Amino acid sequence: MARFAVRRLAGAAAVLFAVSVLVFVIFNVIPNADPARQLAGRTANPQLIASITREWGFDDPLPEQYLRMMQNILTGKVISYETEENVDERIVEGIPETFSLAVGAAAIWMFFGILFGYLSAVRAGGPLDRGLTVLAVTGISMPVFWLAAILLNYLAYELELLPAGGYVGFTENPLEWAQHLILPWVTLAIVYVGLYSRVLRSNMLDAMGADYVRTARAKGLSEHRVMTRHVLRNSLIPIVTLFGLDFGALLGGVIVVEGIFNLNGVGQYAYESLINLDLPPIMAITLFGAFFIVLFNALVDVVYAFLDPRVKLGSPAR
């Protein structure tokens, strides 16, 4: 266990380092993005820009600039070029919104994905299976941001069934918190519901032909027991690992949804920063996102070793 933890930590650190360097390099390739000009703002003139450049060290060699930025990020002192506010603080402010969105959507997609996948597999070949497959494939093919726009327009603006964006804290008013989040949750979840139901269906169909299922039947177990305790149980293992990977990578997926529904979470901050070519928040958020991906990748390996006794920690789950 210790060996696994140490290795993973070392690996994670290496990956995060590489990611941060990559982002920094990407953005210093842009000729137009002169951070000094951004900071100078409306009253920019050559002397101001020059003095800002000197003061902030923008003409220092790149490795030095990189180190300085990393230091700032890790100690929570990064300042945005565009808005001059503290990046880390703004990220922290956005966490509850993003977290609410992510966890809610995840709960929805896991519930429906597993339910539909199970029903599809148990009634494979029949009309229910075919119908659910149509839904699933449509879900996978859905452009999420477009769906968000459509739902927002028709359900919120036109029919006024649900609020048109914005966020209400859970502690303030749980009902409104949920109401504001229903559309974003559904939008985000649809793709994953489709994906997970198909993966589960496929795994279960494979499992149904397995030798140990034949043994279970030969023992005289009821069909229900065979399906749940053997087929489903074994089929869920890859689903769990998939979930870990998908949830870890969710930060990328929420950017557009938060933007459209105006949820003021970390994703929306990312979106705004991209538009404004604001490097510090982009770096910080990218690192934040990468951290989660790496963290969940490691968690997935641990959980997988726990679920499948054949697997020893340290061997890759994929």
Q: Does 68 bind another protein (CB under 8 A)?
A: no
CA distances from 162 to 103, 156, 166 (A): 20, 5, 11
Say what the alpha-carbon torsion angle 232, 237, 241, 244 is, to the nearest 10 degrees: 60
Closer to another protein by Cβ: residue 54 or 229: 229
Taking CB under 8 A as the rule, does residue 302 contact another protein? no
In this chain, which of 18, 67, 74, 161 binds another protein, going by CB under 8 A? 18
The string of DSSP codes covering 8-38 is HHHHHHHHHHHHHHHHHHHHHS-SS--HHHH
Q: How far is the CB of 149 from another protein (least distance, A)?
A: 5
Is position 23 an interface residue for another protein (rule: CB under 8 A)?
Answer: yes
**Could you tell me which stretch among 7-15, 42-50, 97-105, 182-190 binds another protein (CB under 8 A)?**
7-15
Residue 32: CB atoms within 10 Å: 6
Query: Is residue 27 involved in binding another protein (CB under 8 A)?
Result: yes
User: Is 290 a residue that touches another protein (CB under 8 A)?
Assistant: yes
Structure tokens belonging to residue 79: 């300042």
Query: Between 37 and 217, whose beta carbon lies closer to another protein?
Result: 217
75 binds another protein (CB under 8 A): no
Structure tokens at 46: 């050559």
- Closer CB to another protein, residue 175 or residue 218? 218
In whole angstroms, what is the distance from residue 164 CA to residue 151 CA? 10
- Which of 11, 174 has the CB closer to another protein? 11
Interface with another protein by CB under 8 A: which range of 52-60, 63-71, 180-188, 256-264? 256-264
Q: Let me know: does 286 contact 19? Beta carbons within 8 Å.
A: yes
Question: What is the Cα–Cα distance from 132 to 116, expressed in whole angstroms?
Answer: 7
The sign of the CA dihedral 177, 181, 183, 185 is negative
**Binding residue for another protein (CB under 8 A) from 50, 79, 144, 162?**
144
Tell me how far the alpha carbon of residue 255 is from its chain's centroid.
Answer: 9
Using the contact rule CB under 8 A, the part of the chain among 26-34, 44-52, 60-68, 85-93 near another protein is: 26-34
Contact of 119 with 199, CB cutoff 8 Å:
no
Which of 55, 174, 223, 315 touches another protein by CB under 8 A? Answer: 223
State both tokens at 148.
């968000």
Minimum gap (Å) between residue 242 Cβ and another protein:
13
Q: What is the CA radius of gyration of the chain?
A: 24
208 is an interface residue for another protein by CB under 8 A? yes
For residue 315, the minimal CB distance to another protein (Å) is 12
Segment contacting another protein by CB under 8 A, of 12-20, 64-72, 73-81, 92-100? 12-20
| Segment lying near another protein (by CB under 8 A), choices 42-50, 170-178, 181-189, 229-237 | 229-237
Alpha-carbon gap, residue 250 to 99, rounded angstroms: 10
DSSP character string of 232-246:
IHHHHHHHHHHHHHH
Task: Pick one of 51, 55, 77, 153: the residue that binds another protein (CB under 8 A).
Answer: 153
